[in-house]
Chain A
Amino acid sequence: MADLTTNFLGISSPNPFWLASAPPTDKEYNVRRAFEAGWGGVVWKTLGSEGPPVVNVNGPRYGAIYGADRRLLGLNNIELITDRPLQTNLDEIARVKADYPDRAVIVSIMVPCEEAEWKAILPRVEETGADGIELNFGCPHGMSERGMGSAVGQVPEYIEMVTRWCKEYYSKPVIVKLTPNITDIRYPARAAHKGGADAVSLINTISSITSVNLDNFSPEPSIDGKGSHGGYCGPAVKPIAMNMVAEIARDPETAGLPISGIGGVTTWRDAAEFMSLGAGNVQVCTAAMTYGFRVVQEMIAGLSRWMDEKGYSSTDQFIGKAVPNVTDWQYLNLNYVTKARIDQDACIKCGRCFAACEDTSHQAISMSPDRVFEVIDAECVACNLCVDVCPVENCITMERLSAGTVDPRTGKTVSDDYANWTMHPNNPMSTAAE
């Protein structure tokens, strides 16, 4: 069994699976049960300033998007930060950390953008003995209207400023949690880096309306006939989150900045993918909220089996391994020519590839009266749509044309030289040597 011990910012945890700051980590009771179930660490539900706690709505907080059989694919929430008194949370954090010294306990914080506020709360957090803090610059609803959460995360200067204060008044690692509700994720990441952040974590939730009630025309979740955008998370957001993680990982300005990957992590495979894109560990919220704490057992067993199969003895050996392969479109090899291939034995004759290619792509699949579907190489542009819509895994695959063969679509001989758009004759800016 591969050793899953992960060292993130010098904080060691028995595995890379942390619970993200959210309801699963809102109190001692939950966190103790999470640790018993096997989670490697938690980021405590976000704390606010001393004083009367925030209040939550008293109607529904969540909206949902489903796949087949009501499989939850996306969740949206309008919950705020913790609505329990600050001292209660701090006492609980101290107790839990003392009892679970081998687990990571990070405290998430969101207070107004005033130095005095941060100066006041940080020493109290430090006293708990927690391993580090996470600055919640991500929450897109409610708190943002009060100038916190994503309202800070959308202004790089604020991120840098607050991060600096935290590094000044707190001695342990500072993680900056980023909002995805921004056009280019690299700017807030660079700001965090400049402010001295030890790491960034992302993504927080994406502003969203999950559905509209077509009887009373209220967005869901509906509070007395009105709705407010919420934050979207769960499996549906994973592709967006992974791209953002990769963008930061390959940005020369933030190279080497540790990343905690968040957004839709549901299985060991999701975690392995995030980590290969540069995340040092992952945080999970929706999967735990959907299935309970026990899901971590699948993640732990799955990741270690995969590592064994690949011969990795520690997580460092694959963290970031996919980063060098994330590139810009212009550098993709245009001499890589493939064609769709249909395995006739595996084909169940549903005809979805035909409908997709015939109606919406390149008319590159033929259909015989007895429902045999075949690829017409002279038309196939290798878009992969047929592969994606085929209900049978591996029935349609893409096969590379070997060098020297002629692509019947273009009439050109396939070359195994690497050639990209920057060198292409059709590119007015082409730099190819004549």
Chain B
Amino acid sequence: MAQGSMAPGIHPGRLSSDQLAENFEDLHAPFAPHEAAVAADRCYFCYDAPCVTACPTAIDIPLFIRQIQTGQPENAAKTIFDQNILGGMCARVCPTETLCEEACVRETAEGKPVEIGRLQRFATDTMMAQGVHPFERAARTGKRVAVVGAGPAGLACAHRLAMKGHDVVIHEARENPGGLNEYGIAAYKTVGGFAEAEVDWLLKIGGITVETGKALGRDLSLEGLKADFDAVFLSIGLGGVNALRADGEDKSGVANAVDFIAELRQADDLTKLPVGRNVVVIGGGMTAVDAAVQSKLLGAENVTIAYRRGREAMSASRYEQDLAASKGVKLMFNVQPVAVHGNGAAVEVELEYTTTEGGKLTGTGETLRIAADQVFKAIGQTLEGAPSGLTLDGGKIAVTGAGRTSVDGVWAGGDCATGGDDLTVTAVAEGRDAAEDIHAGLMA
């Protein structure tokens, strides 16, 4: 029997498995062919299209949409994969409302952009369902490249290098490849084991070996990799989490949002995954929204996002905020945590109101308490375990050009490196561009 939302404390099985299955369905149902045709017909085939400029991987969007229009989603998929080998995942997870679709001229014209993300998914799903991999490796060059971290940046880099004929070994600390595609992205954005299937599909290019359970700093060293390989690409993401610096942070029931999400993504049976009755998420980014929404979907009664600044400062897009609100998540602005109360286990969170004066955030002294048996920290991830010897900048590996680090022969990209937003699509672009640069260097 399902426990229901009202049971106090942190419990599994608040909802029946049927209800859970329904809650965690695809956020956006895939297009049926006719829907895709109608959506594709809305594209104006703009000159030097603004959507292409807005896409970090610069997919030729008008061309692929036209290829859908003319009945060839496979050619559309090829156009997408030429620029973005993880076009399938990006179609699902990109915040298109702040990327391509925001730039769409029909957004300007009538506030309704062409649904580029869903069209991209229609194309890529079509080809991937056929099991076709559209690229072939060039003749082997005999060069070997080490990639560290099998997230989107590492995978995109490895694929492009393999295409060029190089042999690639990806070293991944976790059990499974995929990075945050596998452990981070909200479950309802990538249903049906898509992340795993996509990695398998990507590896069909050949020439890529994935070694899981191999962590840089523990099992491997940068020096060793440099000695064994012709080039190294670091794409280790952001493994650390910022601390709250609030009293009672160590009480049980207080956890990292990313850990909760990873557990959720790896769970075989969501009825076994515990969630609180009263959940409070501290933070204002995509991670906060994902943790909050998924808590609600698991059956929490009250879920609150507490963000220390105003709505306009939130890094989660307006679309994400509205998604959270539509699922019943309460958004609180201008409040910061000062303490977690409870005898051993969290019971309440105490928040203080804030104001921003001259760009500086200060507490007003006025506080309030809200019930919280589970508190998720989502106030940003940090770089962890970067090999020494690399220059850092603002807590990330400093890179110039196409991902060149301060150390010769070592490139970096994705969340762990400077430049660009921390997004899947940006990681793909950086991995791809570093691969091109590595290739140019190796063949020179």
In the bound complex, residues from chain B placing their C-beta under 8 Å from that of A355 are: 47
Contact of A348 with B105 at beta-carbon distance under 8 Å, contacts A354-B47, A371-B50 already known: yes
- Taking the closest CB of chain A, its distance from the CB of B336, in whole angstroms, is 39
- Taking the closest CB of chain B, its distance from the CB of A363, in whole angstroms, is 14
Contact A68 B41 (CB under 8 A): yes
Contact B109 A391 (CB under 8 A): yes
Contact of A69 with B44 at beta-carbon distance under 8 Å, contacts A348-B105, A349-B108, A371-B50 already known: no
A371 to B45, CA, bound (A): 15
Contact A392 B109 (CB under 8 A): yes
Give the residue of B34, B38, B41, B105 whose beta carbon is less than 8 angstroms from that of A350: B105
- Judged by a CB distance under 8 angstroms, whether A167 is at the interface is no
Contact A351 B47 (CB under 8 A): yes
Contact A69 B105 (CB under 8 A): no
- Judged by a CB distance under 8 angstroms, whether A61 is at the interface is no
- Judged by a CB distance under 8 angstroms, whether B48 is at the interface is yes
- Judged by a CB distance under 8 angstroms, whether B311 is at the interface is no
Give the residue of A69, A349, A354, A371 whose beta carbon is less than 8 angstroms from that of B41: A69
Question: C-beta contact mask, A58-73 vs B, less than 8 Å → 1, else 0?
Answer: 0000000000111000
- Judged by a CB distance under 8 angstroms, whether B390 is at the interface is no
- Judged by a CB distance under 8 angstroms, whether A305 is at the interface is no
- Taking the closest CB of chain A, its distance from the CB of B111, in whole angstroms, is 11
In the bound complex, residues from chain B placing their C-beta under 8 Å from that of A371 are: 48, 50
Give the residue of A70, A349, A367 whose beta carbon is less than 8 angstroms from that of B105: A349
Q: Which residue of B lies closest to A390 (CB)?
A: B44
- Chain B interface helix/strand/loop/mixed: helix
A255 to B111, CA, bound (A): 52
- Judged by a CB distance under 8 angstroms, whether A84 is at the interface is no
In the bound complex, residues from chain A placing their C-beta under 8 Å from that of B105 are: 348-350
Question: For the side of the interface on B, what is the size category?
Answer: 10 to 19
Question: For the side of the interface on A, what is the size category?
Answer: 10 to 19
Interface centre among B37, B42, B49, B105 (most CB of A within 10 A): B105
A348 to B42, CA, bound (A): 14
Contact of A352 with B108 at beta-carbon distance under 8 Å, contacts A68-B38, A69-B38, A371-B50 already known: no
- Taking the closest CB of chain B, its distance from the CB of A141, in whole angstroms, is 28
Interface centre among B47, B50, B106 (most CB of A within 10 A): B47
Contact B44 A391 (CB under 8 A): yes
- Judged by a CB distance under 8 angstroms, whether B197 is at the interface is no
Question: C-beta contact mask, B15-37 vs A, less than 8 Å → 1, else 0?
Answer: 00000000000000000001001
In the bound complex, residues from chain B placing their C-beta under 8 Å from that of A68 are: 38, 41-42
A351 to B106, CA, bound (A): 13
In the bound complex, residues from chain A placing their C-beta under 8 Å from that of B50 are: 349, 371
Contact of A348 with B109 at beta-carbon distance under 8 Å, contacts A354-B47, A355-B47 already known: yes
In the bound complex, residues from chain B placing their C-beta under 8 Å from that of A367 are: 47-48
Give the residue of A69, A70, A350, A392 whose beta carbon is less than 8 angstroms from that of B46: A350
Contact B47 A352 (CB under 8 A): yes
In the bound complex, residues from chain A placing their C-beta under 8 Å from that of B41 are: 68-69
Q: List 28 A-B contacts (CB under 8 A).
A: A68-B38, A68-B41, A68-B42, A69-B38, A69-B41, A70-B34, A70-B37, A348-B105, A348-B109, A349-B46, A349-B50, A349-B105, A349-B108, A350-B44, A350-B47, A351-B46, A351-B48, A351-B49, A352-B44, A352-B46, A352-B47, A354-B47, A355-B47, A367-B47, A371-B48, A371-B50, A391-B109, A392-B109
User: A residues near B, CB below 8 A?
Assistant: 68-70, 348-352, 354-355, 367, 371, 391-392
Nearest 8 CB-CB pairs, A to B? A351-B47, A68-B41, A355-B47, A348-B105, A350-B46, A348-B109, A350-B105, A348-B108
